[in-house]
Amino acid sequence: DGDHYNVIALFGDGALTGGMMYEAMNDAGHSKIPLILILNDNTMSISKNVGAVAKHLRNLRISRHYFYAKNIIENSLNHIPIVGIHIINRLKKIKRAVRRLVIPGTMFDDLGFKYMGPVDGHDLDALISAFDFAKAEKTPVFIHVQTKKGKGYAPAEKHPARFHGAEPFDVATGVPVKKKTKANYTDIFSTVMVKL
């Protein structure tokens, strides 16, 4: 609508290993820009993620049923003339207070975002519900979407790292079309690093 806009940024969990991401989130959270960040968390950034941020993401647990129920209640209350919006605002304040007592805040909450997740990235209804919630907000929202790398394609599910930056391959088998004849930069760099 004319009152606010949403900017949407989709990024992978590997982006959370760089400082620029946190600078951008810090600025957006502080300025309260209606930004929707969608994290595609497939637990892989070429290799399995490790460290404090990866651990934090693994520990976050909020049921998607919460968002379904919340949207149903808010939609119902919105249809009550005059007082509906006041009831919604009061319930939001109560919910925030109770949530802070029961569920520790996430680092994304601390950066000024409303955190949602984790959401099953392969459940279209759950995604639509999360996106509907996010676009109605007038503040920054962080949607944590969990996916399985290569889901639905057996060769990629079995060897996800091989398909991270794939060269042409046979779709039926997942085997590269051309056999590798010379080392690329990554091959050389990794060999030298292992030797060192």
Digit-coded pLDDT (tens) for 21-37: 888 888 988 888 888 99
Is residue 182's pLDDT more than 70?
Answer: yes
- Give the model's pLDDT for residue 38: 94
What percentage of the chain carries pLDDT values higher than 70?
69
Residues 6+ apart with CB under 8 A from 34: 4, 5, 6, 7, 137, 138, 139, 140
Number of alpha helices (DSSP H) and beta strands (DSSP E) in the chain = 8, 6
- Give the model's pLDDT for residue 99: 53
Is residue 88's pLDDT more than 70?
Answer: no
- Give the model's pLDDT for residue 116: 86
At residue 64 the predicted structure's pLDDT band, cuts being 50, 70 and 90, is very low
- Neighbouring-strand partners of residue 114: 141
At residue 63 the predicted structure's pLDDT band, cuts being 50, 70 and 90, is very low
Residues 6+ apart with CB under 8 A from 127: 119, 120, 121, 145
Distance (Å, rounded) from C-alpha 151 to C-alpha 93? 39
- Give the model's pLDDT for residue 61: 45
CB 163 within 8 Å of CB 154: no
Average pLDDT over residues 112-138: 89
Average pLDDT over residues 98-113: 68
